[in-house]
Amino acid sequence: FPHRAPPATCCKAEGMSCLDIRKSATSSRYNVGGGAGDGLPDTPSQPHYPNSSLTEENGVATPSPTMSPSMRGFLGDLARCGEDEELYAGLCYKRCDLLTNGTHPIRTSTWTCCESEPCGFGNQKGSVGKTMACNGYGIGGDTALKVKGLACPHKPNPCPPESEEVLGFCFKPCAELTNGEFPYRLSALTCCKAEGIRACFDFGMTSTGQEYNIG
């Protein structure tokens, strides 16, 4: 699976074929920087902005954002979720490691947390709670909006003004990356000439490349 789509997914081919689950593989193990496992403090093990002094991307050198161990999102001034939250499927939820006292740190759905990869029926815990929403493991952090006393999952803080958001992630605008030729973003790797997913299914209207997958 040589082609990357979202941060935790790799595909057999580039472009729209990544929407076919038979041609993709998803795991939190893929959501790492190029320095993962080398033991060197100067090569980040977490995903980071392009840095010309490193090897993953040819880009302008910028400070690597601080990331928590399980990709909770940017911390400090660039925070999109609270420090006790994680970004999942476009919403901020209370972190699974806090909900399960560290035993099941990987969120796999709104109401389930997993002990370790690969996640299956035998190593997941679930908690739905007594209401349709904002209960069990499907809750927001301590600073989340409360509805009848229940902390609810919520949209993350907006991306910086110079970025655009897709599926909860912030990207450099397609208009800037393509000199205005493909100004609408469909995914991490694909930019389109027209807005809307129907237009983007016309391959003549899209441009796909790893170079678009940058913040």
**How many CB atoms within 10 Å of residue 196?**
10
Give alpha helix (H) positions in 85-184.
96-99, 174-177
Higher pLDDT, residue 150 or 7? 150
For 27-36, write each residue's pLDDT tens digit.
666 666 665 5
Scan for tokens 């993962």, then name that residue: 36
Q: What is the pLDDT of residue 50?
A: 45
124-126 and 112-114 beta bridge pairing: antiparallel
Q: What is the pLDDT of residue 138?
A: 93
Lowest mean pLDDT across 75-79, 117-121, 197-201: 75-79
Q: What is the pLDDT of residue 173?
A: 94
Q: What is the mean pLDDT of the chain?
A: 76
Higher pLDDT, residue 167 or 21? 167
Asked if pLDDT for residue 64 goes beyond 60, the answer is no
> At CA 1, angle to CA 35 and CA 211, rounded to 5?
65
Q: Do the Cβ atoms of 111 and 136 come closer than 8 Å? A: yes
For 80-89, write each residue's pLDDT tens digit.
888 899 988 8
Asked if pLDDT for residue 63 goes beyond 70, the answer is no
The whole-model pTM stands at 0.54
Asked if pLDDT for residue 49 goes beyond 50, the answer is no
For 160-193, write each residue's pLDDT tens digit.
888 988 877 788 999 999 999 999 998 888 899 9
User: In sequence order, which residues have a C-beta less than 8 Å from that of residue 163 and are 6 or more positions away?
Assistant: 170, 171, 172, 173, 215
**How many CB atoms within 10 Å of residue 173?**
16
User: Residue 133 and residue 128: Cα distance in Å, rounded?
Assistant: 8
User: In sequence order, which residues have a C-beta less than 8 Å from that of residue 201 and are 6 or more positions away?
Assistant: 16
Asked if pLDDT for residue 23 goes beyond 90, the answer is no
User: Residue 73 and residue 71: Cα distance in Å, rounded?
Assistant: 5
